[in-house]
Amino acid sequence: MADVTPIKTAAEQALAAAFGAARATLPGQGAVVALREDAFRTFEARGLPHRRVEEWKYTDLRALMRDLYPLAAPPDAAAKARAQEAGRALAGVDCRRLVFVDGSFVPELSDLAPEAGVTIGSMAERLAKGDALVAGHVGKTFATDDVAVALNTALMGDGAVIRVAAGTAVKRPIHLVFVSGDKPSALFVRSLVVVEKGARVTIVDEHDSGGSQENAAIELVVGDEAEVDYVKLTKARALHVASLLVTVGTRARFNSFAFTRDGAVVRNQNFVRFAGEHTEGGIRGVNLLRGNEHVDTTLLIDHAKGHCQSREQFRTVLDDDSHGVFQGKIVVEPHAQKTDAKMMTRALLLTDRAEADSKPELEIFADDVVCGHGATAGALDPGLKFYLMSRGISEHEAEALLIQAFIGETVEEIGHEGIREAVMNAAIEWLGARK
Amino acid sequence: MSLLEIKNLHAEVEGKKILNGLTLTIEKGQVAAIMGPNGSGKSTLAYVLSGKPGYEVTDGEILLDGESILEMEPDERAAKGVFLAFQYPVEVPGVATMTFLRTALNAQRKTRGEGELSTPEFMKLVRETSGHLGIAQEMLRRPVNVGFSGGEKKRNEIMQMAILQPRLAVLDETDSGLDIDALKIVADGVNRLRSPERSMIVITHYQRLLNYIVPDVVHVMAKGRVVKSGGKELALALEAEGYAQYVGEAA
């Protein structure tokens, strides 16, 4: 029999061509080059993920990404001027803003005031110059052969590199703002945050992908006894694929929260490894979808060590013809005894045409654990709606109140008050715009 | 003109006919008790008046101040002054009682073309009203009815009524599940709201409530119609004789 030669799609061919053309100029030498080449081979062998790849079943990237936009050029003065307003959702919160326009760090829009125990840099610069932190962690936080991560590694350009030294409590949240214009372009941004022993920090990772195809990845190393809150805010008019790669140490605390609204096609994949005992983690999020939007949340939570507690909690509101996906997999490794993991995802369908797919999975190899998962999908309770309307509240407002209550329980879990309020206000604004 | 005129009302739920030619008039300022055996259509009447989805009127009229309300949404009816105190008040997780009260009051005022109440005015109103009903401030911060006892839920209904000041209040078995002390508090709350400008329909299965909320008229319902009307002494007669004669008569 003749060998079957898979036919490459236009986007796959364009990705290969883009890598071929850019490999000489992408930042980094030596080990970085080897890392890129290795990652590129993973992509070449597997191609873009499609619906027969289990992890990508509901988000067929091969079909959704017909072509590759040209790699983004560094921003010109006009692009930077447009980015002045970026990140204003958190205008009321005292943050350290670091701004990236069309995938490139813009120091003049960023707050680089020195702070004891905090080191901040540009990924592109660190890759080019060679850097111990980058060499020690990039590509090593969570071992995965996921193709989106591989493509990011092969083509990674700029992003933030942050180190919080042991014992440092960073007062102001660090707000990464990635903003892109309307011009069709492809971005591969990569960030690294290393939080050393006993340090504390809140990171807000905001992406307004504009009309771009954005592949974003961030590696988060949470040291022993460290406390890290990570909040991701996402908007995208074309395509946004983000990978969060986390490893958490012993007696640490890690909480993530992802908020997505106005996301045409968004995939947030979360790879979290509990690599030390007695750690508590929360992986949560709220997605608001309308029109034909497609938002996919995929989790791979690896309890590698025992005595850890994790809570996974997601709420998705689906209007019009939107499509929400939740895939949550919790793995409890053989020696991770006394693991306590609970996952819950709930979808609220506002029309008959919206679709929510939920796929929770538990893979438990230890025998002394408490693990559970649940998934619900349903419409607004007509009894509740009638009760509110019988008091004079209009149908629109009654629905808004009930939707706010539905997501509120999860939004409440955001530790930082100002960020919590900003997220709720963004949700209320979305509800107000419903017809 | 009477406040409420119901003429030859026929209504069904999921294809099952419940109201069967009901005719009833409520005068301004009148407190009317509606009594009747289980399944006579008392609660259905309450829901039809407030516009609950799924309760389909197939014939007849409901006129409020001479104007038909049948085509109105529940919130429009509320703004016109219709209020239903639920037999089973629903729990609304995630919506604080205070937010709920304020949203409801301002929505009604807006529909009626009145301005919103200022925060101090609203707080004063809620403090006074909740105080009369023995509702703690802490309860107002909790989500609507969540974790409330049966009595607390009923008191919360009466508090809403006191704040929203309806012209037609329908109390659907407000006495059910209440012990005698709770019943007195609720009845006091209702009596405080009696006024020449406000009519009430008090639906109850038992005469007991009517010792505390003394009605101007008593109507007996059976098989989806009003089969007898009289003064408050009619309630006492029913207590003594039961509903058997009416069930038989209507069948």
A214 in the same domain as A72: yes
User: Cα A202–A270–A123 angle (5° rounding)?
Assistant: 60
Q: Give the domain range for residue B132.
A: 4-250
Helix, coil or strand: residue A276: coil
Of the residues A219, A246, A276, which one is the last residue of a structural domain?
A276
**Mean pLDDT computed over B191-198:** 95
Q: What is the pLDDT of residues A323-340, one digit of tens each?
A: 999 999 999 999 999 999
How much helix, strand and coil, in percent to the nearest 5, is found in chain A?
Answer: 25, 40, 35
Residue A386 and residue A239 share a domain: no
**Residues of chain B positioned with their CB less than 8 A from the CB of A386:** 52-53, 74
Contact call for A392 and B104, based on CB within 8 A = yes
Residues A262-290: what's their mean pLDDT? 98
pLDDT tens for A190-240 read 999 999 999 999 999 999 999 999 999 999 999 999 999 999 999 999 999
Q: Are B128 and B84 in contact (CB under 8 A)?
A: no
Q: Answer yes or no: are the C-beta atoms of A389 and A357 closer than 8 Å.
A: no
Confidence of residue A82 (pLDDT cuts 50, 70, 90): confident
B164 to A393: CB separation less than 8 angstroms, yes or no: no
- For B107-133, write each residue's pLDDT tens digit: 999 988 999 999 999 999 999 999 989
B53-63 per-position pLDDT tens digit: 999 999 999 99
* H or E element, residue B97: helix B97-111
Q: From chain B, pick out residues whose CB is under 8 angstroms from the CB of A395.
A: 73, 75
What confidence tier does A4 reach under pLDDT thresholds 50, 70, 90? low
How many domains is chain A built from? 2
**Tens-place pLDDT, residues B214-226:** 999 999 999 999 9
pLDDT-based confidence at residue B240 (cuts at 50, 70, 90): confident
Residue in B50, B75, B108 closest to A395 by CB:
B75
Percent of chain B residues topping a pLDDT of 90: 84
In percent, how much of chain A has pLDDT > 90? 95
Instruction: Assess whether pLDDT exceeds 70 at residue A431.
Output: yes
Of A225, A245, A276, the position where a domain reaches its end is: A276
CB nearest A384 (choices: B90, B99, B111): B90
Q: Give the residue numbers spanning the domain of A116.
A: 11-276
Beta strand B143-144 pairing with B92-96: antiparallel
How far off is chain A from B139, nearest CA to CA, in Å? 17
CB-based contact B150:B178 (threshold 8 Å): yes
CA separation for the pair A364, A303 (Å, rounded): 9
Tokens at residue A345, please? Answer: 């995802």
**pLDDT averaged over chain B?**
93
List, in order, residues 6 or more apart from B240 with CB less than 8 Å away.
none
Answer yes or no: is A423 within a domain.
yes
Alpha-carbon gap, residue A297 to A234, rounded angstroms: 12
Distance CA A35, CA A69 (A): 24
Per residue in A119-147, pLDDT tens?
999 999 999 999 999 999 999 999 999 99
Residue A434 half-sphere exposure, CB side, CA atoms within 13 Å?
24
Residues A413-430 have a mean pLDDT of: 96
Q: What is the pLDDT of residues A345-394, one digit of tens each?
A: 999 999 999 999 999 999 999 999 999 999 999 999 999 999 999 999 99
Optimal mutation site among A315, A381, A390, A407, interface B, most CBs of chain B within 10 A: A390
A269 shares a domain with A394: no
Burial of B149 (0-12, 13-18, 19+ CB in 10 A): exposed
Q: For residue range B53-94, what is the model confidence (pLDDT) as tens digits?
A: 999 999 999 999 999 999 999 999 999 999 999 999 999 999
Quick one: A48 and A164 in the same domain?
yes
Q: Check if the beta carbon of residue A312 is closer than 8 Å to that of residue A285.
A: no
Q: Could you tell me if residue A242 is inside a domain?
A: yes
| Min Cα–Cα distance to chain B from A393, Å | 5
- DSSP state letters, A166-200: TT-B--SPEEEEEE--SS--EEEEEEEEEE-TT-E
Chain A residues near residue B49 by CB distance under 8 angstroms: none
Q: What is the pLDDT of residue A3?
A: 60
Residue A417 lies in a domain: yes
CA angle A81/A266/A291 to nearest 5° reads 95
| A367 found inside a domain | no
Beta strands in A66-159 (DSSP E): 96-101, 104-105, 118-122
φ, ψ of residue A227 in degrees (nearest 5) = -130, 120
**What pLDDT is recorded for position B214?**
95
- Do A148 and A24 lie in one domain? The reply is yes
* Residues of chain A positioned with their CB less than 8 A from the CB of B73: 389, 394-395
Helix (H, G, I), strand (E, B) or coil at A376: strand
Of A255, A276, A297, which closes a domain? A276
Structure-token pair, residue B143 = 């989500």
Chain A contact for B95 (CB, 8 A cutoff): yes
Q: How many domains does chain B have?
A: 1
The CATH number for B195's domain is 3.40.50.300
